[in-house]
Amino acid sequence: MKFLLDRLWRIAFDGNGRPLSSDMTRRGFLKVSSVFALSIMAPREGLAAAIPKRVLAFHNLHTEETWEAPYWAGGRYLKGALAQINHIMRDHRTNQVKAIDTGLLDLLHAIRKRLGTDEPFQIVSGYRSPATNAALCRKSSRVARRSLHLKGKAVDICLSETPLSSLHQAAVSLRRGGVGYYPSSSFVHVDVGEVRYW
């Protein structure tokens, strides 16, 4: 603190204590330095509250698990939150966990903001293990053999109180990856691959 005040003094006054600017007086310096000191000594909680956070909420339709919390705050991704997201978006058939791409999380956050909702995303399918994806490919030709679900870069979602068409439109409008519309199955696929629609 003393070091910073000394630096402020040197910026405002010469070696003999005369102001370097006609606008600066000793009283003015004291006012500026006291405001500066108060800002440094402000409670961390107050400063933390002023820093933007990115919050997500999920409900896994297969496991009934729910989760809601910031996953990004203070200019960084929160490791504990990412681990919990990886768990709730795991392959529910094999219980395998994979790191979910943070770009996908940012896309989901952007969709939430675009829709102006704080509803949890209902997870239909998050990460898929190779075994699960292969089994789904055998059942349906609509499942991609090299699905981005295998890389933790895709998720199939819906919202309980928002029309599926609105969710689809919001995802398309962002142009940040692939968007698939499955009204008969009541979900929208979003991924962070190339921009494409189906």
CATH numbers and ranges of domains, the chain? 2-41 (no CATH), 52-197 (3.30.1380.10)
Q: What's the CA dihedral at 139, 140, 145, 148 to 10 degrees?
A: -110
Please state which of the ranges 18-27, 153-162, 164-173, 182-191 shows the lowest mean pLDDT. Answer: 18-27
Tens-place pLDDT, residues 86-132: 999 999 999 999 999 999 999 999 999 999 999 999 999 999 999 99
Average confidence (pLDDT) over 27-36: 54
Instruction: Please name the amino acid found at residue 68.
Output: E
- Rounded alpha-carbon distances, angstroms, from residue 152 to 4, 22, 26, 40, 75: 46, 61, 60, 41, 22
- Please report the pLDDT score of residue 145 as a whole number: 85
Tens-place pLDDT, residues 48-82: 556 789 999 999 999 999 999 999 999 999 999 99
Model pTM score: 0.74
Average confidence (pLDDT) over 11-35: 56
Greater confidence (8 vs 146) lies with 146
Q: How confident is the model at residue 35 (pLDDT cuts 50, 70, 90)?
A: very low
Task: Tell me how far apart the alpha carbons of residues 31 and 27 are, in angstroms, rounded to a whole number.
Answer: 6
